[in-house]
Structure 1
Amino acid sequence: MKRHNIKEEHIDRRDFLKGVGALGISSIFPLSLRSAGLDYESIAFDSGVYERNDAQTIIVYLYGGPSELAGNMTNIEAISQMSQNPYPLDDERYIKLTKDDFWGNAGGYAMQRMLESGDMNLFRTCYRTVDDTKAHGECTSQAQRGKETAGGAGIVANLASILYHKGVVSEPSGTDDIGKSIPFVTMEGESTFFTEDELNLDPFLKPVAFGSGSDNPYRRGGGYERHLLNRETNTTLGSYFDSLSQRYSREGKIKESFERRVTLEKFANEINEIELPEGIDYPENNVFGSRLKTAMNLLIHNEHTKVVSMGSPGLGGWDDHSNAIDRYTRRMTDLMEAIETAMAHMKAVGKSNINIVVFGEFGRNVNYNNSLGWDHGNNQNVYWFGGGDYMNRLGIVGETEVTGSGTRLYTRPKNFGTSGASYHFQVFSVAATIYRLYGIQNPEILTNGNSVIRDLLS
């Protein structure tokens, strides 16, 4: 069949599905919210907290298990002496420390500035002791579900379901209310954060995909807008799909999806084209900067978006088993400089309700191995930035000590196993804290008893 002879009465199924665009099948066919996965009656919710906080969250998940060393070099001399291979401590090209023992060459200078300006809380003892497998898939699945059991919905899917059930997030009415239709956003594609399990979320509660920079996932590719079907009317293949939907589709989800794709394409373009405040320049050639610029523009200009999730570039990007120092220092510098710009961006527009949390599935061994890298460990940092409307300024929390020997060299909370142990928590407390931010008063029932990070929330 030649394209210029396409007849409106017939359409190939494959072409039809492509014409729907990035919304996908889940946005076309109606699904209802069922309570099979959650006992809503047992979830205590305070709408006053939800409204006062007016929280918006960016989750930066560092796949692969990030080393703690960028934010915690307090034990580095002992570590270097006990390690298979010494660290290059005498060479400031590789390792230079800030006054609070951040690794300056690995984003530590930006961290130091954010600590001193009150923009960063750093927890140095997120120490996994429960089900400590150190396996990427299992640990990521559990960290993004917020509990140490297999199955169940992800953190953001649970949050979406609860907020909808409690009546503080509601379905938009028509395409004019497009901002309200994207409460949850992914900039990393599919992830367990959005796994529904038995929740079966309504389409508007599912994550909307957003690209960074000029990347607009709702723009039709492959010539849909360039290929002319009728040169007299300038009808393109894309406009043909739109008009065909309006002409033949009954009122409902299919027709709405064609309308919504056009609106989302326009909305995404508008977000990407927003001019930054004077003096705000995200670092160039920096994937974190590009993503955070888009995420911050979205949150600042759309109050209805509650959570944006973005992963580090590529699954396993922080799995630094070999040649770690060069790659890790560049990557951490990119990340922290991008976050520092995001904090300045938020201040420049007078906002203080946006928070950014950074964590991964586990930490790393601190032995500098024969491949000049680090193997898997169980202590990691959790970084929490911004959120001045509802977060206390704690600064640095948690002290570490070195344990083990040879290839099994780790850090752990200082005085671990005694009554004087430094404060520490499981990674699942990140989920509990996120839930509490949005008004859920007993998040422990969603995290198998893991509580909110102590003293963080005001």
Structure 2
Amino acid sequence: MNKRNFLKSIAALGGSALLPSSINPLSMYKTASAAVDYSTANIVPPTVMPQVINIFLYGGPSELSGNLTNIQNIEDNSQNSYAVGFGGNILVNDVAGDGSAGWITRNGFWRGTENAGTPHLDNNGAGGRSMQIMIDNGQMSVYRTLFKRLDGTRSHRESLLQSFKGSLDIEGSAGVGTKIAATLFQHRSTYEGTTVLADGTPITDIVNDTTMLLPFVSFEGDTRAYQQDPDFQIPLLFRGITLDNNFDNPFSRNSGSNNSLNDADDDSLDNDDELVLSELAASIRTEDYDARFSKASDSFNLRDELNTKIGQIEAGNNDASLPLIAGVDAAVDAPTLGLVAGDRLIYPNNNRFSSRIRAAVTLALVNPSSVYITVGGGLGGWDDHNNGTTNYEDRMNDLFEVMKTAMLHIKYFNANTLNGSPRTTNDNIVINMFGDFGRRVNLNGNQGWDHGNNQNLYTFGGADVRDGGAAALGKVVGSTVRVGNSGTNNQVTEPAPGSYEAEPMSVASTVFSYFGVQNPEVLTADDEFNPAGVPVIDETQPGEPDLF
């Protein structure tokens, strides 16, 4: 990440974000629907501040890695054979438990055949072995019926914006991260003195307390998850910043000693950049603004502290800082990563997902005031119209191998946070993972899948903040049926009659509820498109029985 470009983008954001809403460029996108009234949110503050990592799979992956329950019926009706494209074991249950004779796990996940040289890995499959381990260990749940009823669009843009904003008002609505920030700010007196961070640090002043640094972070560059609400101003540092996998530090000052200062690729700040920062600082430091937001609004006064904090986060992301797998569960957990009890955790090498997901998890662990973190871009394209038989399995295997590692990273982390204290809990960290939409289940002539609707939500960790606690994890919720004419491309899965199902926007409602919002529908509603909003996902729903 280039510091120069980053800071100039912050300057642009700061200037526009503080303009009156009548001339804010974002207001041009506002529809006629009424703005969210954050004061109507009914808050019961959580004891411990939640931390949510949202991993978005751009393009929309096929659900089949996490749902082979209909595969024989799909095979019988598909234009092209799954058995031919992927191998006959995709149609057979893994009764032996090693993938030698079948690839369908007990919960209907798509695993592969165990690799003789590295037995904790599969040669093929689509991540199902790692999924089954995380289900068995109570680290993950899967909701198989994330299905759009309110608006069944199969457009990428509309679908991803609905998810990023938790709203059908895809132009006028603020992003999910911004709605969380606005809720915390609007109701700050309710959280202050009641809610603590996950290392026990009390929150006494949400806006001005320096313990609440880097609360909203993107590891994917600019994202609509942080699109501002032109009708509701939040402090500048609540607007979200972008970091990269290496935590390149956007707050480092130019020391004046860098001999390569004029190198176009150099990340140091030059005099022009300092001038931009100074002008921006002067433009926002009005007497009224200072009176309202005090020192936390001035990110330039805090830049030295942010520089130090990000440096500490970067140090926490090196290999030597990863936890040892030790304790009562170590003999079970370590072999799932190819390790033995007492070894230091290792993320997979040469894996396109490792560095970004590892960085997000590290940030959450060492900085409990990072309450909403987005990850997405750079995690591979999932728009598999073509060559699904070539690419899909490897990507899913890589992704879920990293997620399995990330969950053990969270489980075994026991170092001090940036506040100098050990965490009192790691079970306030929730990771949600889903995409634009699902895909059709007919294997098309290009050996891929075209756009569909139904998709899986993979959700990890966070037993302390979920409705139902630990019982909300370790289960698969929802059942599906194949629909569509045999031998045609328009074949999909849908929720089976009587099955539990939820809107993708319900993921946002559920996240709002973790922060104590008792009526999250008010944050997903809009007068024009969806006056009622959407309810939370019912995390007390029972899981489906094992297949065998």
Q: TM-score, normalised by structure 2?
A: 0.70
Name the amino acid aligned to 1:107. Answer: G
Q: CA RMSD in A?
A: 3.4
Say whether residues 1:90 and 2:87 are aligned partners: yes
Match of 2:179 in 1: 158
| Matched length | 423
Secondary structure at the aligned position of 1:454 is classed as: coil
1:385 to 460, 463, 472: 460
Match of 2:337 in 1: none
Could you list the per-position Cα deviations for residues 23-69 of structure 1 after superposition, in whole angstroms to 9, with x for gaps in the alignment? 433346883899x833233211112xx224x2101000111111110
**Distance of aligned partners of 1:19 and 1:453 in 2 relative to their CA distance in 1, 3 Å threshold:** closer
1:372 to 443, 447, 463: 447
Q: CA deviation at 1:303?
A: 1.6
Match of 1:347 in 2: 411
Could you list the per-position Cα deviations for residues 264-303 of structure 1 after superposition, in whole angstroms to 9, with x for gaps in the alignment? 3443232122111122111122232211221122111112
C-alpha distance in 2 between matches for 1:29 and 1:380: 37
Q: Is the CA contact (8 Å cut-off) linking 1:119 and 1:386 kept in structure 2?
A: yes
Match of 1:147 in 2: 167
Match of 2:521 in 1: 444
Say whether residues 1:37 and 2:102 are aligned partners: no
Match of 1:327 in 2: 391
Say whether residues 1:102 and 2:109 are aligned partners: yes
Match of 1:181 in 2: 213
1:430 to 503, 507, 523: 507
Name the amino acid aligned to 1:155. Answer: V
Say whether residues 1:71 and 2:66 are aligned partners: yes
C-alpha distance in 1 between matches for 2:58 and 2:269: 39
Q: CA deviation at 1:97?
A: 2.4
**Distance of aligned partners of 1:110 and 1:244 in 2 relative to their CA distance in 1, 3 Å threshold:** closer
1:294 to 351, 359, 362: 359
C-alpha distance in 1 between matches for 2:285 and 2:258: 23
1:201 to 207, 230, 234: 234
**Distance of aligned partners of 1:246 and 1:360 in 2 relative to their CA distance in 1, 3 Å threshold:** closer
Name the amino acid aligned to 1:366. Answer: V
Q: CA deviation at 1:261?
A: 4.5
Gaps of 5+ in 1: 1-15, 230-235, 416-420
Could you list the per-position Cα deviations for residues 322-351 of structure 1 after superposition, in whole angstroms to 9, with x for gaps in the alignment? 001321112112221111111101110252
Q: Is the CA contact (8 Å cut-off) linking 1:27 and 1:257 kept in structure 2?
A: no
Could you list the per-position Cα deviations for residues 110-157 of structure 1 after superposition, in whole angstroms to 9, with x for gaps in the alignment? 101000000011000111122212001111111211122332111111
Q: CA deviation at 1:20?
A: 4.7
Q: Is the CA contact (8 Å cut-off) linking 1:22 and 1:217 kept in structure 2?
A: no
Q: Is the CA contact (8 Å cut-off) linking 1:110 and 1:340 kept in structure 2?
A: yes
1:46 to 40, 44, 47: 44
**Distance of aligned partners of 1:171 and 1:387 in 2 relative to their CA distance in 1, 3 Å threshold:** closer
Q: Is the CA contact (8 Å cut-off) linking 2:521 and 2:535 kept in structure 1?
A: yes
Name the amino acid aligned to 1:277. Answer: P
Q: Which deviates further from its counterpart, 430-439 or 186-195?
A: 186-195
Match of 1:233 in 2: none
Q: CA deviation at 1:218?
A: 4.6
Indicate the percent of aligned positions where both proteins have the same amino acid: 34
Name the amino acid aligned to 2:383. Answer: D
Name the amino acid aligned to 1:320. Answer: D
Match of 1:268 in 2: 310
Q: CA deviation at 1:207?
A: 0.7
C-alpha distance in 2 between matches for 1:29 and 1:369: 47
Q: CA deviation at 1:91?
A: 4.6
Say whether residues 1:282 and 2:282 are aligned partners: no
Q: Which deviates further from its counterpart, 388-397 or 297-306?
A: 388-397
**Distance of aligned partners of 1:81 and 1:228 in 2 relative to their CA distance in 1, 3 Å threshold:** closer
C-alpha distance in 2 between matches for 1:349 and 1:302: 12
Name the amino acid aligned to 2:185. Answer: Y
C-alpha distance in 2 between matches for 1:228 and 1:191: 30
Secondary structure at the aligned position of 1:363 is classed as: coil
Q: CA deviation at 1:75?
A: 0.6
Secondary structure at the aligned position of 1:383 is classed as: strand
Larger strand fraction of residues:
1
Name the amino acid aligned to 2:534. Answer: N
Q: Is the CA contact (8 Å cut-off) linking 2:176 and 2:225 kept in structure 1?
A: yes
Could you list the per-position Cα deviations for residues 233-273 of structure 1 after superposition, in whole angstroms to 9, with x for gaps in the alignment? xxx964897699889x8697599555544543443232122
**Distance of aligned partners of 1:241 and 1:403 in 2 relative to their CA distance in 1, 3 Å threshold:** closer
Q: Is the CA contact (8 Å cut-off) linking 2:185 and 2:234 kept in structure 1?
A: no
C-alpha distance in 2 between matches for 1:191 and 1:389: 28
Gaps of 5+ in 2: 22-33, 92-101, 112-124, 193-204, 263-267, 287-296, 325-343, 415-425, 467-471, 526-532, 542-548
Q: Is the CA contact (8 Å cut-off) linking 1:129 and 1:378 kept in structure 2?
A: no
C-alpha distance in 1 between matches for 2:6 and 2:67: 50
Name the amino acid aligned to 2:360. Answer: A
**Distance of aligned partners of 1:225 and 1:148 in 2 relative to their CA distance in 1, 3 Å threshold:** same
C-alpha distance in 2 between matches for 1:146 and 1:450: 9
**Distance of aligned partners of 1:273 and 1:122 in 2 relative to their CA distance in 1, 3 Å threshold:** same
C-alpha distance in 2 between matches for 1:195 and 1:22: 14
Q: Is the CA contact (8 Å cut-off) linking 2:323 and 2:345 kept in structure 1?
A: yes
Q: TM-score, normalised by structure 1?
A: 0.82
Name the amino acid aligned to 1:25. Answer: A
Secondary structure at the aligned position of 1:111 is classed as: helix
**Distance of aligned partners of 1:51 and 1:45 in 2 relative to their CA distance in 1, 3 Å threshold:** same
**Distance of aligned partners of 1:239 and 1:276 in 2 relative to their CA distance in 1, 3 Å threshold:** farther
**Distance of aligned partners of 1:281 and 1:38 in 2 relative to their CA distance in 1, 3 Å threshold:** same
Name the amino acid aligned to 2:475. Answer: G
Secondary structure at the aligned position of 2:431 is classed as: strand
**Distance of aligned partners of 1:38 and 1:108 in 2 relative to their CA distance in 1, 3 Å threshold:** same
**Distance of aligned partners of 1:51 and 1:197 in 2 relative to their CA distance in 1, 3 Å threshold:** same
Match of 2:490 in 1: 408
Match of 1:212 in 2: 245
Q: Is the CA contact (8 Å cut-off) linking 1:210 and 1:268 kept in structure 2?
A: no
**Distance of aligned partners of 1:359 and 1:243 in 2 relative to their CA distance in 1, 3 Å threshold:** closer
Q: Which deviates further from its counterpart, 422-431 or 188-197?
A: 188-197
C-alpha distance in 2 between matches for 1:277 and 1:181: 24
